[in-house]
Structure 1
Amino acid sequence: MRVFGVVGWKNSGKTGLMERLVAEITARGFSVSTVKHAHHAFDVDQPGKDSFRHRAAGAREVLVASGARWALMHEGPAPELEALLARLGPVDLVLVEGFKRAGHARIEAHRAATGAGLLAREDAGIVAVASDVPVEVAVPVFDLDDTGAIADFVLREVGLGV
């Protein structure tokens, strides 16, 4: 499975970049899945819905299925990224948001307004930076909004580009 990540500090543009990359890469005919790391409590369920009530009653896993989609919610700590990836169906590329310390290649999203330093200066797994300002690092740097060039780079990195 080909895996490539997008990392960065809070409000650095990770989710926007992920969204644009998924749209760009799927428009080129590749299948893409995503994995998102959340640093805080999150819920994909809504209070009052049957599935929420099942979880509140103590169900360890709740699978919700319809004719259009299905979702599995599991109570308890998330497994390591490799175990999560193993649960995905086959696709050309999995884009991973977050998981800063995982071993796959990553691009760092960077916005000057965050005031945060660059992770790429200390993390050899970051193979490029996408920034809204010029930065000096020892990896390729892209304009944060140049989705086409970033997609080209990602596809070459994972062996899907020309």
Structure 2
Amino acid sequence: MTPHPFNLPRIGFAAWSGSGKTTLLKAVIPALRARGQRPAVIKHAHHAFDVDTPGKDSYELRHAGADQMLVASCRRYALMVETPETDDGRVPDLDMLCSRLDPERADLILVEGFKQADLPKIEVHRPAVGKPPLYPEIPGVIAVATDAAELDFDGPLLPVNDPDAVARFIIDYCNLNP
């Protein structure tokens, strides 16, 4: 496993756009939780994005010049941090992002995207997307979650439509106590 802040295990999910990374994660997260795990998630966004809505106070204050905007309620909080100094098109530093998570509230970190990052990855591959597998080209693919009948991969093939099997693989790979 790759060393990282807080010694939380990290598993990446990598795939071509439209392959179902988010769909799989949305099903794997409850399967992990059912096994007593507390996953945190970091997702890479390829474009400028906003979680605020124009017209909301937090959006207006951030756009007025607040470099950091934390919105809090009794149920959740969200921190938006402007990073214009790093707006060079490069992928954000994954270790820095992981360090922003609260390690007391997580057992592992699931990372969506960050294909080139140095971490173990599960590739989501669906032949129907019409793209070749990524594992020959990207580092760290330890398993492929797929609906392909067969695949020339020297490692575990996981059924992409069975989130319980993917969750079990993650728990075993990370040596987490179920």
Superposed pair shares fold, TM > 0.5: yes
Residue 33 of structure 1 aligns with which residue?
A: 40
Quick check: 121-130 or 98-107, which moved more? 121-130
Contact 2:116-2:139 within 8 A present in 1 as well: no
For 1:50 and 1:110, the matched residues in 2 are separated by: 41
Shift of 1:79: 4.2
TM-score w.r.t. length of structure 2: 0.86
| Number of the residue aligned with 1:99 | 114
Gaps of 5+ in 1: none
Does residue 109 of structure 1 match 2:120? no
- 2:92 maps to 1:85: no
**Map of 1:5 onto structure 2:** 12
Q: Secondary structure at the match of 2:135?
A: helix
Contact 2:118 2:139 in 1 (8 A): no
**Alpha-carbon distance between aligned partners in 2 of 1:29 and 1:103, rounded to the nearest angstrom:** 27
The TM-score, its normalising length taken from structure 1, stands at: 0.94
2:156 is aligned, of 140, 145, 151, to 140
Match of 2:55 among 30, 48, 56: 48
Aligned to 2:143: 128
Q: Deviations over 1:66-93 (max 9, x none)?
A: 1110000011147400011011011111
Output one character per residue of 1:99-133: Cα deviation in whole Å (capped at 9) or x when no partner: 10111100000111211111112334000101122
Residue identity matched to 1:128: A
The amino acid of 1:127's aligned partner reads I
Distance, in Å, in 2 between the alignment partners of 1:124 and 1:13 is 20
Aligned-pair distance for 1:136? 2.0
Query: How many residues in Structure 1 have an aligned counterpart in Structure 2?
Result: 162
**Which runs of 5 or more residues in structure 2 are unaligned?**
1-7
